[in-house]
A and B are shown apart, each in its own frame.
Chain A
Amino acid sequence: MSLTLPTLPDGRILDVVRAPSHVLSVSGSPVDPGHPAVVQLCADLVATMRISPGCVGLAAPQVGVSAQAFCVDVSAHPKARTTHGLIVLVNAEIVEASRNEKAREGCMSVPELTGDVKRAAKVTVAGQLPISGERLLISTDAFEARALQHEIDHCAGMLFLDRVVGAHAVYPRKVYLPPPDVGGIVR
């Protein structure tokens, strides 16, 4: 089920900040959802996410702004189950989380590394829509749940590197291409 979002202005394409940039490690401030700069920031996040290949989410610190705002859209992703289409939230937090699952994450702001991170596979997120400030609760699962947690972490100044499951859980990024043949399990 898609969210009904307020109409955002045209977004600008911004540069994506990479670690070790300080802004990625700072906890973002709560924002006024109706402030024109916040509304423009939300539009810019969506525009920048849309033109970045494979990008399913982007948070304000990733474009150099320490603030609690992000967008997510996993609707075209094969690992998604429940999806809400384009999500744009400010001042969001996780209010319920359960069923931890481990997966290997990559991030546009840490382009040369990946890491194994445990995250809840079912979450409820509370946040506000830009412009109207309407408060929402979003309950979701699987890939959308992981994406929301990843972006809320960015807003709190945390990278996946802060959550990896062990000292040997960070890897050089590899270029993943479609498997040359059918993958699966042999036993």
Chain B
Amino acid sequence: MANERPLGEVKILDFMWVMAGPAATRMLADYGATVVRIESPTRIDTARTLGPFRNNQPAPDASGLFNNCNAGKLGITLDLGNPSAKEVVADLVRWADVVTEAFSPKAMRAWGYDYEQLRRIKPDLIMLSTCLMGQTGPHAKIAGFGSMAAAISGFHNLTGWPDRAPSGPFGAYTDYIAPKFTAMAILAALEYRRRTGQGQYIDQSQAESSLHFLSPALLDYTANGRVDDRAGNTDPDFAPHGAYPCAGEDRWVAIVCRSDEDWRRLSELMKRAELGADARFATARERLKRRDELDSIVGAWTRGLEPREAEALVQSRGIAAYEVQNSAEAYTDPQLRYRGHFVELPHPVYGKTTVEGARAKLSRTPAEVRTAGPTLGQHNQFVFEKILGYNEERISELVAAGVLG
């Protein structure tokens, strides 16, 4: 339990599962927090059933998603419904600074592990609950996943083509936003406790956190009464603005002209300098009126190019562009490489796995991602013996009582 890492002395008892919750405590583990992640020995973490799987072979420890969301954590199994688990949880709560959970509301209460109960064990405890809609309200009990929170929060309706049903953002979109707010909430609450000695309970609705990413459109309604809609790849200020087809199947380059000067330079690059001089395209206002025409012109030029070639050519003129990268392209992207975005780690079952690196680079005390997501119960012995100080006899009792599954 090295203390020199930025969060080296922070101890988190993590009841969270699936994606939004575990992704948050993963961020804290990157900077040295000790995170003890509890898993049910019987009810598998949904994240373990979701890809990308190592070599396309689904298996509980082969999930890239699970490994990515749980890297750096200690994993133990506990059957929370077993009465003998109670004492173990109490000991872990005494050890922890922070308890986190991501069940649907009431589950922790049913086990007797809600904040009111746990603070009796540890008065200055910080506890955070995160779920789709929050702990209270008529929709609190919506069962489900981030794709549903994204739908009910308005993201779906704003993503896609106006002449079609919404495409929606990819996957469980609010699960990609909420963890950032979870992590900052925990860090701020720790700071508050440091200064005041006071712990507290934090009720996070993943929908409510995520709505901050739609604030401009929400204010457009509350201030102007206007209901925004999806609009394909059009932008209110910029044209051309889109993903353009390149050579090969489903390969694209995103190009955005942010100024009239950008457009003139792009015209020259496309060897269509006459368009740069054409009054019909000279200003953003004129170009915005003729978006479709511009999209065909730019698309006709990119179609013969490799995406990365198009990206390099367009960027060489100072115009925003990037290959629309799939995972293979991202994996070889020199910029992501340089930034250390892909971190290879040893894995107890598969020899190795790869996870994403930490997002914030701290110049003096950088993040370190040291271990893959734990296999089921991988750290039972370590946690019970080294963290809780249980002797062999006590551990055998727990095994015999079926607490560990």
Question: Does chain A bind chain B?
Answer: no
Residues of A at the B interface (CB closer than 8 Å) are none
Residues of B at the A interface (CB closer than 8 Å) are none
